[in-house]
A and B are shown apart, each in its own frame.
Chain A
Amino acid sequence: MTVMNMAQAITDALDIALTTDPRVMVMGEDVGRTGGVFRLTSGLQPTHGEARVVDTPVAESGIVGTAFGLALAGMRPVVEIQFMGFSYPAYDQIVSHVGRIRNRSRHRFTAPMVIRMPYGGGIGAAEHHSESTEALYAHTPGVKVVVPSTPYDAKGLLLAAIEDPDPVVFLEPIRLYRAVKEDIPGGHFVVPIGRARLERTGDDVTLVAYGSMIRDARHAADVLSEEGVSVEVIDLRSLVPLDVETLVESVEKTGRAVVIHEGHRTAGFGAELVARIQEEALYSLLAPVQRVTGWDTIFPLKRTEEYYLPDVNRIVQAAHRTLEG
C-alpha cells in the first residue's frame, strides 16, 4: 500500500499500463517534456521514451483523430486533453468516428482508446478551464464515460479504461487531484467500469453524485446527520454504462433522492438520473426528486465561481425539501 493523492494515482496507473502493455501510448499537449499542465504524466517520458509518451501539436481534433487511427491499428493510445473546455474541437472525431466505428463496421474495426479530460471548477481557473459538460459525452453513443472521485478509484478505473475494448472518456475532477490522499495498493488492479459505489449508507435520503461533487455530498451528509437525518451517498463512478440497479435499490429504501452535478442544469446528466428514478422507483418516492446542479450560465470566473458551484448549503436545502413532504 502507498499513500497517494488522485494525481499520483493517475500517474501510477499510466506508468503501470506503459510498463505492462507495449501497445499503450500516452499522447497530448505538453505531456512529455513537462509532464502535462497538471504534471500527471511527469516522469513518464524519461522512463518510457519519446515514442510512447508523445508531445503533440496543439490540435485536439488532430490528437484524437490520430489516436483513433493508432487504436484501429492495434495500439492503445491514452490521450490527454488539457482541459475539458478544449475538447470540443475533438468532439467531431469522437461523435462521428471514435464512437461509431465498431457499429459501422459491425465489430470488424474497433478503437480501444482512452480520452482523459481534467474537468470542473473550484480552482479559480481562466475562462474555458472549468467546464463540466459530461452530458455531451454521455449523450454520445459508443463511448463510455467514467468519473472517479477518489485516488483508489482513479487508479483502478483508469487501468480498467485502458484495458477496455471500447473507447472511454475519462473525466478527472481537477479540484480533487491533490485534495486528499489515501492508502492504495501498489501494482496493478482494476475497478470495474459500470458499478456505482456506496460512499455511505443511510435510510432517509439518497444523495447521488460523481466526481468532484462527492466531497460536497459527503460534507452535506455530515451536516444532515447532525440534524438526525440518515443519508445514503452514491458515487456513480461511471455515467455510461450507468449502474441503475444500485441507484434504484437505494431510492426504494430511502424514498428520497437528491441528484448533484456541477454541469449545467438543463439536459444535464441529472435529468437522466431523475428520469431513471421515476421510471423504476416512482412508487417508492415520498417526495419529488431534487436536482442540485450548475446553472444554465457560462461558468463564472474566479471571483464569483462559488455562486455557480453546488455547495453544502444547496445540497442540504435540497435534502430538506425532500424531507418536508
Chain B
Amino acid sequence: MDIDLTRRLFRAMLAARQYDRKAASIQKQGRLATYAPFEGQEAAQIGSAAALRPDDWMVATYRDAAAMWMQGYPWPHLLLTRMGDERGGSPPEGVQVLPPSITVGAHMLHAVGLAWAARLQGSDRIAITYFGDGATSEGDFHEAMNFAGVYRTGTVFICQNNQYAISLSRHQQTASETIAGKADAYGIPGVLVDGNDLLAMYRATSEAVTRARDGQGATLIEALTYRLGPHTTSDDPTQYRDADEVEQWRAKDPLDRIRLYLANEGAWDEEWEAAITAEAQEEIDRAVEEAEALPPLGPEEMFETMFAEMTPQLVEQQRWLLASREGPT
C-alpha cells in the first residue's frame, strides 16, 4: 500500500478511536443511549472500507461506525442513532450506506439484493456488508451467502470475528474450524485475514471488491480481531473472559501495529500523531455539538414517515396525539 494512503488510514483509525472513546464517555454522562464500542476493530473496519468506491453500497451494524464513516456516513448522524434520534438514520444524499442494522443477521440479505440490483441496472457498483461472529449462526447468514453464490452477486461479506457474541465465545458459537471455511458450502471464496492488520484487510478487501466489480461474485472475509471493550455500555465482560486474554489482545492493538510500521518506514513521528489526534478530537467534539444542538423531533413527525402519504388511520392518530399534548381538556 502507498505510504500516503497508509498514513491517511492511520489518521482515520485514530479518529475512529477518538469517536469510540468519546461516545462511550458521553454515554456515561447520560448523553447517549446504550453504546456498542468497537475499540480493537479499527483496522478491520477502516482497512476494508478503504477498498470501496464512494458509490458502493454498505450495509453494516451498530458496531461499525468506523466503516460507515469511511464510506461517508457523517459522525453527527452516527451519534444521533445512539442518542435516540431517528434522523441519524438518514445520511445525506449520495451516501450509499443504510442506517445501522440493530437486528443480527437479517441485513446481510439486503447487501445481496443491492448488489444484484446494481448488475441489473448495468452498474458495477458493489455492496459490502459487516457482521460479527454471532451473526454467522443466524439462518439469514446462510441464506445470504447462498443467494449471493447462486446469483453471483457482487457482495463482499466482512465477518469481524471479535471472539465474542456478547458473552458467547467463538468456540461455543460454531464447531467450524474457521468462519471463512463456511464459504465453501456456498461456492464462494472464503478468506481468513488478520483483522488487526490494516494492510492485510485493505488488500484482501480490495481483491474481493475487484472480483465483485468484475462480475465474479461474492467473497466472505473473516477478519480475526478482538473486541477490547464490552459488548455495549451495559455489559460487564469480566463475567465471561479473563483479563489476561484481553491483555494479550491489547498487545496486538491495530493502531500500535500500524504506527510501528509507519515509524519503520520513516513515515511517523510523535509530533505528527499529536497534530492529527488534536484535529480528530476537534472533529469529534464538533460532531457531538452538532448532534446535540439538533432540537428533538416534534410529536407529529413519526406519523409522517410511515408511508409516502399518511393513511387516514395515521392522520387521526396524529391528531389525537397532538390534541393530548394540549392538556387534559
Contact = CB atoms under 8 A, between A and B. Distances in A.
A68 interface: yes
A97 B312 contact: no
Given A73-B121, A93-B109, A105-B99, A241 B91 contact: no
A62 B306 CA distance: 24
A240 B147 contact: no
A317 interface: no
B308 A165 contact: yes
A101 to B, nearest CB: 8
Interface string B235-255: 000000000000000000000
Contact of A106 (B86, B110, B116, B308): B86
A144 B306 CA distance: 10
Interface in B66-96: 86-87, 89-91, 93
B312 A72 contact: no
Given A59-B147, A106-B90, A72 B308 contact: no
B5 interface: no
Interface in B303-320: 305-308, 311-313
A107 to B, nearest CB: 6
Nearest to B81: A104
A325 interface: no
A96 B102 CA distance: 9
Contacts of A96: 103, 106
Nearest to A142: B306
Pick from B115, B150, B306 the residue with the most CB of A within 10 Å. Answer: B306
Contacts of A190: none
Given A103-B86, A105-B99, A69 B111 contact: yes
B109 A61 contact: yes
Contacts of B86: 103-104, 106
B113 A72 contact: yes
Contacts of A56: 147
A285 interface: no
Interface in A64-122: 65-75, 89, 92-93, 96-97, 101-110
Given A57-B147, A59-B146, A73-B57, A103 B121 contact: no
A165 B140 CA distance: 26
Contact of B109 (A65, A109, A142, A165): A65
B86 to A, nearest CB: 6
B139 A61 contact: yes
Contacts of B110: 65-66, 68-69, 72, 97
B63 interface: no
Contacts of A106: 86-87, 89-90, 305
Contact of A74 (B89, B90, B117, B307): B117
A186 interface: no
Interface residues of B, number: 42
A66 B112 contact: yes
B308 A110 contact: yes
B275 interface: no
Most A CB within 10 A of own CB, among B110, B111, B121: B110
B146 A62 contact: yes
Contacts of A220: none
Given A59-B147, A62-B140, A109-B98, A51 B307 contact: no
Given A68-B109, A69-B112, A97-B106, A141 B306 contact: yes
Given A62-B140, A73-B114, A73-B121, A108 B313 contact: no
A196 to B, nearest CB: 12
A166 B309 CA distance: 9
Given A102-B307, A104-B99, A66 B118 contact: no
A5 to B, nearest CB: 31
Given A57-B147, A65-B106, A73 B118 contact: yes
B112 to A, nearest CB: 5
B120 interface: yes
A110 B305 CA distance: 10
Contact of A69 (B127, B150, B313): B127
A69 B114 contact: yes
B311 A102 contact: no
A89 B111 CA distance: 19
A244 interface: yes
Question: Which 9 A-B residue pairings sit nearest by Cβ, starting from the closest?
Answer: A69-B113, A65-B109, A73-B117, A62-B143, A241-B311, A165-B308, A69-B110, A106-B90, A108-B90
Given A73-B57, A103-B305, A141-B306, 9 more contacts: A56-B147, A62-B140, A69-B114, A102-B305, A104-B86, A105-B98, A110-B308, A144-B307, A240-B311
